[in-house]
Structure formats: structure tokens, C-alpha cells
Structure 1
Amino acid sequence: MKENKVFQVNGFIGILAIVILIGLSVFTFINQSIGMAILLIIIAALLASGITIVQPNQAIVVTFFGSYLGSIRTSGLFLTVPLTIRRSVSLRVRNFNSKRLKVNDVDGNPIEIAAVIVFKVVDSAKAVFDVDHYEEFVEIQSETAIRHVATKYPYDTFENVELTLRGNAEEVSNELATELQARLDVAGVKVVEARLTHLAYSTEIAQAMLQRQQASAIISARQKIVEGAVGMAQMAIKQLEQDKTIDLDDERKVQMVNNLLVAIVAEKPAQPVINAGTLY
């Protein structure tokens, strides 16, 4: 099924024609031509059945005895084929907030995920005839697409991977929109935007995963501190050797590096010990 344009004329012209036919029927009835008057009234009634009003951002799907004739997408008053059934379809942009779905990511961790889908109808014929209740179809397919995308990636990772649900929300949203569009083409619906609105570990593992994240953050911070401490120690020894301020042998270099590393890496400030000499 594909949308096409149905026969239509300006509705005011149609109303004028109906008024003229009614006037002619009255005139012929006065002149005692009852048969002609009845015929004109029937024609006027048939034309009146074809009068329809189309609101802005709305389409009218016209069917004639079970056959799809076409659609009217222009707003205004129109005269179309008489004795037809006309169904209105909204062309406005709408959004759908999915429920919080509980799914397993690619690592098997249970997570909660939700998204908002912004969509609109672009083909009224497909929306009416190719699916039952296209609004429900959008909701069901949206939840299916969200579940499918969520199971393809990990929620988060502590290793080097290309894509995660938490760290790459933009890419995940784009993939969700692409997959959802492929599912909704059959309903004549265009996906304007798809965005994640909620993403979290499920309650039963949230505390454990929080501890894991904290541990990873501590390890990462420690690595940075150690790298910085080693660099500072190397720089200090190199500067002393270049300036020839102090001549250090290997043992004293090791001792200095050890002292610097302890002072920098320690969580608490180092307590200096002053050597004031000996009594003897």
C-alpha cells in the first residue's frame, strides 16, 4: 500500500453546486416536474456526502466500498468522491516514552533502560491499512528495538572496548533510531529522534557494581600518581647531576628515589626527620 492523491475540488465550489441544485429542484417542483426535482435533490445529497474538512497537519484517507482511493493532505474544505468512508490520520510530531525495561547487557548484567521516541506519520495509507493501530505498533516495536540494542553492548567496561551503553549514549541512540526506522517503515512512520532517558544497573547488582567502579577509579588514580612520582624523581636526580650540586653514588640515588616516592605516593603528608648530628 502506498499513499496517493484522491480526487478533490474546492469545498466552497461544491457547496455552491449543491445550493444551485437545491434551487433548481425547488424551481422544477414549483413547475410540477416532481421527478426532476427528486432527481436533483438526490444529486445534491450525493454531492453533500462528499464534503469533508481537513484540519492542519492532518490527512484524510478515503475509501470507496473497500477500495482505497487516495488521501487528502492539504488543510481546508474539500469536495471528494461521494459515498466514501473517510478516516483522519494525524501528521503531527508525537513522542512516546517507553517503560523502564529490565534487560541483560552483552555481559549478562541486568540493567534498566528507557527511551523517548519522537515520530510522525509520513504515509497515511500504510499507517491505516498495513498495520492495526499504528500507535500501538510504534510502542511495541520501540520496546523491541530498545531491548535488542541494549543486549548488544555492555553497560560499562573497565577494559578498552569501542562502545558501551553508558559511555557512548549518542552512538547508541543513533543506532536505536536506525533500527527502529527499519521496523516502522511498514507503518509509514518516520522516526525523528530516539534518545535514552534512563540507564542504570538493576537494583540487585547496583551496589556491587558501584563498588567495582570505585575500585577501578582508585586504581586508575594510583597509577597516575605513581607515574607522576617516578617522573618527578627522575627529574630531580637529573637536575642535580646537571647542576653538579651534589655528587650521588648509586646507593644514595636509590635512597633519594625511595624517599621521594614515599613522600609523593603516601596518602598522608610525609613527616620529615631532621638529623641534628650525633653527640660523639
Structure 2
Amino acid sequence: MTETDGGARAARLIRNESTTEIPVHLLFRDDPDPVAVPLRPAVVTKAQVERATAANTRRTPGPAPARPVPSVDPGLVERPGRALPGVLGVAGGAVGAAGSAAALGWAGALPRIMTDLAGLDGYAGAGFGPAQWAALAGSGALALFGVGGLARGRTGGAWVLTRFGRYRGSVRRAGLLWLNPLLVRRRVDLRLRHWRSEPMPAVDTNGEALRVVVLVAWRIKDTARATLGTEDHETYLRECVEAGLARVLSRLPAVVGDRDAPVLRNAEALGDLLTRRLAEDAAPVGIEVFSAQPTRIEYEPEVAAAMRRRRIAALDARRRDSVLTTVVDSVEDTVTRLTARGLVDLDDYERKLLVKDLTVAFYTGRGE
């Protein structure tokens, strides 16, 4: 290689201000071939493989187990119960009462005045024989059976009928009805109902203690499951509200984080999540939930003071940042106009002093 070539290459390298990567194998092209170094295969024991497999298993968590869904007896489904018009019960009771009176008069047990009114003057009666006792018992049973089965059905209500602990049907009819008096009746309210909870404790995703009041709109859809599938459907609903509130609020922050993520201040999103969760838990027991809306969310007293100070500090920092941005824009506009119009001719030092004085003046004025 000549000196001319070296100088030209150096000048070209300085002029272009760039370098070229040199392959590593070219650095040793004048050296003899390196001696190959034999490599011994690594020996891996069975214990090392088991430890590595266990470590990978611990680092890769498996899928979370599915949450069990509440369920009741699949055969427990509402079906219509037997009910007759109440007129039949009234007629049966009247006939039984009349038969009882006639049997007593036949036996001569009615007072004299009753026999006179019935036109049986001087009738002493045949006494209580087998026939009289049978007539009296049959008439009395008919009267009790007819009157004892009378029931009043209300609009927006139903009767759940059971016998010896077995479900025999539900009656949703209104008006005067006759139901089998040997069945046990339980009245159920089918109207749309609102339940406002007491302040319930909860925590958000950051662990801040909260107190929440929830308004739930619900009604009974399946009378059999609501009355026989749970010990008390109202208590079950309250427990479901408390559990669903704890699950939903623990997944959301109380303050704004990600703009796309729902927060506790977003009442519509929070209500939708809580309603969906509560409807899933209450549907298997025959309760239909229309809405579950938190009406009040506040911090616990011991947390409210600290959160109030934090909110005030955040608002103050935001205001200061806004004021500083406005001041910087004003200073930049002022210096640009002064320089563009030729009113001042400043070097770098004088420009810095001017920017500093204008910033202090504008910021003080904005702060006041």
C-alpha cells in the first residue's frame, strides 16, 4: 500500500465522517488456521431436569378455577296450581251449615225457638243416633271444607302451595278463590320492588376504604325457586348485593387512571357491571334484577381527609402547570415580536436576562 493511497483513504474517511464495520474473520486472515478445540457434551442429570421443570411450572401459573354458579334443584320450577272459583266454596259452606242445622234439629238439639221458626212445633227430636251423627259430621265437614278453602288472590301476588313439604303449584289468579284447605299456603309478592341498602363497606382496586349505598330494582320471576329454593329470598338478595359490590369495586379505581378504563365515578359503567353480576347470581333462585345502581360512594372518615388533601394538591399542581404554560407562551411571543420588529438587538446573555425578567413578571401577575 502506497502513501498516496493511505492519504486518499484517510481524507475520504474524514470528509465523509463515517466508518465501515470490519468483519471479525478479516482481522485474523494473516494468522494460521486456529486449532480446533474439542467440546465435551454437557451432562444433564435427571435431578436438574426435574428442578427446571418445577421452576417453569411455578413461573407459569395455570388458569384460574372457574367460579361455581349458584344452582337449585332443576326439578323445582314454577307450575300452575289448582284453584276453583270462590263461589263454590261459599256454596259448599252454606250447604254444610244448613245440613248441620237440619241434623241438629232432627236430633232435637236445637232450642225451642229454632224449632218454632222452622215450623216444627211440638217436635221432641229423634235423639242422637248413628244416622244423626253421620249427617251432622258430613254437614260439618262440608261446611269447614268449603269455608276453610276460601282465599283472596291479589293482583301482583301469588300463592305457593305445598303439602307435606312437597311443592304442589302456584296460583297467580286474583279475586275470591277456593284452594284445597289441606295444602299449606305461602303468599308471595310479585310486584316490582326497590331496595335501598345501608352504607356497606368496600375497597377499590388501590385498597382505599369506601362506603357505598346501592339501589336495587327487582322482582320475583319464579315463585317456586324464590320461596323453596332459598331460606329467605330477600336475605339472599342482600348478601348477593354485598358480595357483588365487593367483587366489582375491587377491580376499579376510585380516581381517574386510564381514560378508556371505567372508574367508580362513572356511574353508568359501574351500574352496568354490578347489574350484570347481580343478575347472574340471582337468576338461579327465581329473582329477576333490573338494575343495581350505586347512589352514593364516599371514602371512610379516616380516609376522606387524606384524599381531600391529595385532591386539593392535584388541583393546585394542575393550575400551576396551566399558569406556567401560559406564561412561557406569553414570554416567547413577546421576545419574538420585539426581535422581529427590530426594537431590541440582544445577544444570548441579554436574551436570557430578558426571558428571565419577563417570566418572573408574568408569573407573578398570573399568580396574583
Q: Partner of 1:108 in structure 2?
A: 207
Instruction: Say whether 1:98 aligns with 2:197.
Output: yes
Contact kept, 8 Å, 1:118 with 1:194, in 2: the verdict is yes
Q: Deviations 1:95-120 (Å, cap 9, x if unpaired)?
A: 33333333332112222333232322
Q: Partner of 1:222 in structure 2?
A: 320
Instruction: Say whether 1:187 aligns with 2:285.
Output: yes
Aligned length in residues = 267
Q: 1:203 aligns with which of 284, 295, 301?
A: 301
Q: 1:152 aligns with which of 215, 230, 251?
A: 251
* Offset, 1:187: 2.8
Contact kept, 8 Å, 1:59 with 1:71, in 2: the verdict is yes
Deviates more, 1:172-181 or 1:197-206: 197-206
Q: 2:84 aligns with which of 2, 9, 24?
A: 9
Q: Distance in 2 between matches of 1:220 and 1:21?
A: 87
Contact kept, 8 Å, 2:253 with 2:263, in 1: the verdict is yes
Contact kept, 8 Å, 2:153 with 2:172, in 1: the verdict is yes
* Offset, 1:20: 4.0
Q: Distance in 1 between matches of 2:357 and 2:172?
A: 81
Instruction: Say whether 1:65 aligns with 2:167.
Output: no
* Offset, 1:132: 0.3
Q: Partner of 2:39 in structure 1?
A: none
> Cα distance 1:176–1:159, how it changes in 2: closer, same or farther (>3 A)?
closer
Q: Distance in 2 between matches of 1:198 and 1:125?
A: 34
Deviates more, 1:127-136 or 1:180-189: 180-189
TM-score, normalised via structure 2 length: 0.61
Q: Deviations 1:110-165 (Å, cap 9, x if unpaired)?
A: 22333232322222211110000112112222111112222111121466561221
Partner of 2:231: helix, strand, or coil?
A: coil
> Cα distance 1:161–1:207, how it changes in 2: closer, same or farther (>3 A)?
farther
Q: Which amino acid aligns with 2:291?
A: E
Contact kept, 8 Å, 2:212 with 2:294, in 1: the verdict is yes
Instruction: Say whether 1:87 aligns with 2:186.
Output: yes
Deviates more, 1:215-224 or 1:108-117: 108-117
Higher strand proportion (structure 1 or 2):
1
Contact kept, 8 Å, 2:91 with 2:146, in 1: the verdict is no
Deviates more, 1:124-133 or 1:137-146: 137-146
Q: Which has the larger radius of gyration?
A: 2
* Offset, 1:266: 2.7
Contact kept, 8 Å, 1:50 with 1:84, in 2: the verdict is no
Q: Which amino acid aligns with 2:167?
A: Y
Tell me: higher relative CO, structure 1 or 2? Use CA pairs within 8 A at least 6 residues apart.
Answer: 1
> Cα distance 1:264–1:77, how it changes in 2: closer, same or farther (>3 A)?
farther
Contact kept, 8 Å, 1:263 with 1:269, in 2: the verdict is no
Q: Distance in 2 between matches of 1:161 and 1:24?
A: 80
